A and B are shown apart, each in its own frame.
Chain A
Amino acid sequence: MPDLPYDLELIAVSKSYDENAVVNDVSFAMKKGEFLSLLGPSGCGKTTTLSMIAGFETPTRGEIKIRNERIDDRPPERRNIGMVFQNYALFPHMKVAENIGFGLRMRGTPRAEIAQRVIESARLVKVEHLLDRLPRQLSGGQQQRVALARALIVQPALLLLDEPFGALDRLLREEMQIEVRSLLKRLGITTVFVTHDQDEALSMSDRVAVMFAGNIGQIDMPQALYDSPRTELVAGFIGKATFIPGRLEGDPLRFVSPDGTFDVPATHAPPSSGDATYFLRPEAIRIATNASHYQNEVSGSVIASTFFGDRKMIMVGTPSDQRFLVAVDRSTALEIGAPVRIGWMTAHAALFQGGLRQ
C-alpha cells in the first residue's frame, strides 16, 4: 500500500445489528485540514458512522485508519480524537476550567502545564472570562465554545462534531458556524461533521457525503452536489428542485411528458428510450416573455409565492398538475392564479433514468 497522507480513512466500513445493515460499505478518505460533512435524513447511518470513528461502536466489517494507523479495534481513549456532542455533554459538576482541562488531566499532564493550556484553549474560543463558572451558569453558545475548547486542547488528529449547532437559535447558529469554520481552518484540523441540516453542511464543508439508508449516495464539493447531483435521491435532498416524470421517445430522443416535449440535455452516456425524470433547479427556470427565446416553454398559473427577503420563489402549476419551482426576482409581482409562461435552456436541465443521472 502506498503511504498516503490521509488523516482519516474509512475502508468499506459496515455495521449491522442482528442482520440489519445500518452502515453499508462506506469508504472515504480525508486529507489534513479537510472539513467533511456527513449529511442525511435521520436513520441514514451518519451518526453510526461517527460513532464507529469515535470508538463507541465497532464496525462489523471494514477498516478505519487515523494517520495511517488502524484504530477500529482501539477504545475511544486511545484514538487521539476530539469530539463536540449534541447538547455539548459538559461535565455538570466541573467548572469550565476543569471541563476544558479534562483530557490533559486524564493523560497525566502536569498541573502547571494544564493550567497554562486551559487558558490558551479558552482564549481560542473566547471563554477565558468564564473559567470559574459551572456549565449550568453558561448560555448555549458559551457551552458550545467550552465543549469545543475541551475537544481541541488535546491537539487531536481528528475532530468530530455531532450536530453541535442544533440547540442554538438561528442567528447565533449562523454566527457560530462562521466562527467555528474559520477557527478550524486556521488550526488546520481535520473535521468530520454530522448534520441533517443541508444549509449547514453546504455552507461549512469542503466536501459533503450525502447518506441514504447506510450508503453514501454522493461525496462531493458543495457546489458540485447542488449543480450535478449523481442520483435522483441526492438531487431531491440537496436544495429545491422540480422533477418531471415522463419518457424518452423517438429518434432523435426527446423527453415526452403531459406538459410537452422537451429537448434532452447533454448526458454522460447515450440515454436509452423509456421512463425518465427531467430535473430543473429553480434558478434554471425563467419567466418567459414575448422577447425571450427559451428552448423549452410551458404555460401554467401561479399557485404559491414565497418571499425570502433577498429572493422570491414561486410555484407554477400546469393543467396536468405538474408543479414547477421558479426562482424569480425579489421585486416580481405576480398574483396567485395569474397565468404565466416559463421557460429554460436545455443545458440547464438534467436527466435521471433508474434514479441515476444520465
Chain B
Amino acid sequence: MRTGWGLPLYATFIGFLLLFPLAIVVAVSFDPGVYIRFPVTGFSPRWYVRMWADETIVLSIVNSLIVGFSSSLIGAIVAIPAALAVTHGGRFVKAAVYPFLLSPFAMPWLVYGLGILFFWGLTGLRLSLWTLIVGHTVLAIPYVLRVTLAVLRSMPPNLVRAARVAGASPWQAFRYVTLPYIRSGVTAGVSFALVVSLTNIPVSLFLTTADNITLPVAIFNYMINNFEPLVAAVSAVQVLMIGVIIYAARIVGGVDRA
C-alpha cells in the first residue's frame, strides 16, 4: 500500500480543528483573571470554586442531568417498539409512522421549540421539568430509532424463531434474544439523545424558566451579561459530562461483544 504524508497530515489538521477550541476553553477556565482572554495569564481553580457557589449553575446542572436521562430513556421506550414495528410491520408503519417519528431530525429546532411552547400554553400546564422532558423526548426518539433500526435490520430473523420454538413467549424472546442483540444500538442511540439534550439551546430556551433552567441555557444567559472565565469553567464541566457519557455508553453497550 502506498504510504505518504498526505493522510497523517490531513488527520492531524482535522484533529487540531476538533480539539483546539476545546483546549482553549479548558485553558481559559483556569485563568485567574476576570476576563476571558488567550493566552492565559496564570493557573487558578477560582472559577470552579465560584461555579459551585453559584446556585443557578448548580441547579441547571442537576436539571440538565434529570431532563437528559429521563428524555433519552423515555425516548428509547418509545423508539424500541417503533423500531420493531418498522422492521416487521406493514406498509402504513413504514410509509407514515416511521417518517413521522424521524421528523424531528428535519424540523428546525427553533420552530419546534416555539411550537411546543404554544402547545403547552394551550394545555394550560405550567412549564416544569416535565414539560421540558416531553419536549426533549421528541428530539430523542429519532436518534434511538435510527440506530436501533440499523442493528435490528442486521439481526437474522431465525433468532427470534429459534427462541420461540425452544419455548420462549413473544415477551421472553424479546427480553432474552432481541434486546441483548440490539443493546449496543440502543445504548448508542440513547447516548446520542442524551448529548443532544445536554447541549440543546433552541428548544430548551423556550421551555425553561428560573426553576427548570438547563445547563446550556444557563451558560447562554450568563454569556449575554458577563465575559468572565466562569463560563469557560462551566463549559469544561459540560464537556467532561459528555465525555463520561460516551465512555459509559461504550461499556454498557458492549461494543466489543456485539
Contacts and interface: CB of A to CB of B under 8 A. Distances in A.
Nearest to B169: A77
Given A87-B158, A89-B156, A77 B180 contact: no
A76 B164 contact: yes
A94 B258 CA distance: 11
Range class of the A interface residue count: 20 to 34
Interface string A152-180: 00100000100000000000000000000
A130 to B, nearest CB: 18
Interface in A75-89: 75-77, 79, 81-83, 85-87, 89
A151 B167 CA distance: 10
A2 to B, nearest CB: 30
Contacts of B258: 92-93
Interface string A51-95: 000111000000000000000000111010111011101111110
B162 interface: yes
B206 to A, nearest CB: 42
Interface of B: 156, 158-159, 161-170, 172, 176-177, 180-181, 183, 254, 257-258
Given A77-B169, A87-B156, A54 B163 contact: no
A107 B162 contact: no
A294 interface: no
B159 A91 contact: yes
B161 to A, nearest CB: 6
A160 B158 CA distance: 14
A91 B177 contact: yes
Contacts, number: 76
A154 B166 CA distance: 8
A75 B164 contact: yes
- Which of A86, A93, A107, A151 has the most C-beta atoms of chain B within 10 angstroms of its own C-beta? A93
A150 interface: yes
Nearest to A54: B165
26 contacts: A55-B165, A77-B164, A77-B166, A77-B167, A77-B168, A77-B169, A83-B161, A83-B162, A85-B162, A86-B158, A89-B161, A90-B162, A91-B159, A91-B162, A91-B180, A92-B258, A93-B181, A94-B180, A102-B163, A106-B166, A106-B168, A106-B176, A107-B167, A150-B166, A154-B166, A160-B165
A103 interface: yes
Contacts of A105: 176
Contacts of B180: 91, 93-94
A103 B158 contact: no
Contacts of A79: 165
B177 A154 contact: no
Given A93-B257, A106-B166, 7 more contacts: A56-B164, A83-B165, A89-B159, A91-B159, A91-B177, A92-B258, A103-B167
Contacts of A56: 161, 164
Interface string A90-123: 1111100000001101110000000000000000
